[in-house]
Structure 1
Amino acid sequence: MPIRPILSFPDPRLRLTAAPVLRFDADLRALADDLLETMRAAPGIGITAPHVGVLSRLVVLELAPGEVRIYVNPELDQVSRETIRHTEGSVSMPGVTDELERHARIRVRYQDLDGKERNEEADGLLSVCHQHEIDQLDGIFWIDRLSRLKRDRLIVRYNKLRRA
């Protein structure tokens, strides 16, 4: 289970759409294991295959130690009208965060590592994480959800951190 290099913003591959996973095999399980170790080393609570340059629809979350969740081909199935604000960041842009508005509750449709179809309802942080990571699978980097002014300021802060 090697720790893989994480793409850093503004790598253009972070804006590409990931392809659906079609093969549920040992290679997929190995990638999920690598993502978990890479995310923990970052550190982070969520990571997608595109974060390590693999354009596959695979997400690994660990919101609490030992509570690993793996989602293959996740899609938002339902979203609430109610929204919440939450501070977000990315393993591809460490050191900077900002507050975003997301749906308060969602239902996600996905497959597990065996290819079995599943559904999950989520609220709070889990809901935010699903939306954040599914955006990444769709080539939408989290800062794209900020106003232009906030995004520009955040990029300046990030670039200063990288030079330090």
Structure 2
Amino acid sequence: MAIRKIVEHPSPILSKPCKPVTDFGAELHALLDDMYETMIEADGIGIAAPQVGEGIRAAIVDLGEGQDPIWLINPEVVATGGSETDIEGCLSFPGLYGEVERPFHVKVHAQERDGSWYELEAEDYEARAILHEIDHLDGVLFDSKIIRIVTEEELEEMAAEEEGSE
């Protein structure tokens, strides 16, 4: 496993739709392991293959909290519901944060690391993270969805308020 360099905006690979994964062999597994290590090192909760320079439909979401990582290979959104606006950031846009509106609920059909298909339903923050990563695979970047930019000072104030309410 290796930590890879995170591709930053405006690299063209970030805005191109990715190709489907067809080979679930050792090369894919090595890439997924590298992506996971890179995401953890960068203190992220999700990463998509184009963010490490690979134009394939593979992404990972890991919210921690004792859950296993969600491997999203060739994911397709089957259904969405509700709507919620919250703050997002992106490893490919260091220092940029903004309010983004996304569905509150998502149902996804995707493949595991071994190629087996599964369906997943998620809500709230998990749904937001999954949809953010699927957008990457479609060449859609979160900066195009920002309703309002949030400064780092505002983020720090929000974090302090949240700590004070616990």
Task: Quote the Cα distance in structure 2 between the aligned partners of 1:16 and 1:70.
Answer: 21
Matches within 5 A, 1:42-81: 42-64=42-64, 67=67, 68-80=69-81
**Unpaired runs of at least 5, structure 1:** 155-164
In structure 2, the partner of 1:23 is 23
Give me the TM-score of the superposition, normalised by structure 1.
Answer: 0.86
Task: Give identity over the alignment, percent.
Answer: 37
**Unpaired runs of at least 5, structure 2:** 152-166
Deviations 1:103-149 (A, max 9, x none): 010100001111111000000111101111111100001111125xx
In structure 1, the partner of 2:33 is 33
Deviations 1:74-124 (A, max 9, x none): 1100111x1011211111112221111100101000011111110000001
Aligned CA-pair RMSD:
1.6
Pairwise CA distance, 1:12: 1.6
In structure 2, the partner of 1:87 is 87
SS of residue paired to 2:114: coil
SS of residue paired to 1:43: coil
Task: Quote the Cα distance in structure 1 between the aligned partners of 2:6 and 2:19.
Answer: 19
SS of residue paired to 1:76: strand
Give me the TM-score of the superposition, normalised by structure 2.
Answer: 0.85
Task: Quote the Cα distance in structure 1 between the aligned partners of 2:37 and 2:76.
Answer: 24
Paired residue total: 150
Task: Quote the Cα distance in structure 2 between the aligned partners of 1:146 and 1:88.
Answer: 9
SS of residue paired to 1:106: strand
Task: Quote the Cα distance in structure 2 between the aligned partners of 1:95 and 1:122.
Answer: 27
SS of residue paired to 1:93: coil
Pairwise CA distance, 1:65: 5.4
Further displaced range: 112-121 or 63-72: 63-72
Task: Quote the Cα distance in structure 2 between the aligned partners of 1:53 and 1:65.
Answer: 28
Task: Quote the Cα distance in structure 1 between the aligned partners of 2:146 and 2:2.
Answer: 33
Letter in 2 for 1:74: P
- Residue 101, structure 1, aligned to residue 90, structure 2: no
SS of residue paired to 2:93: coil
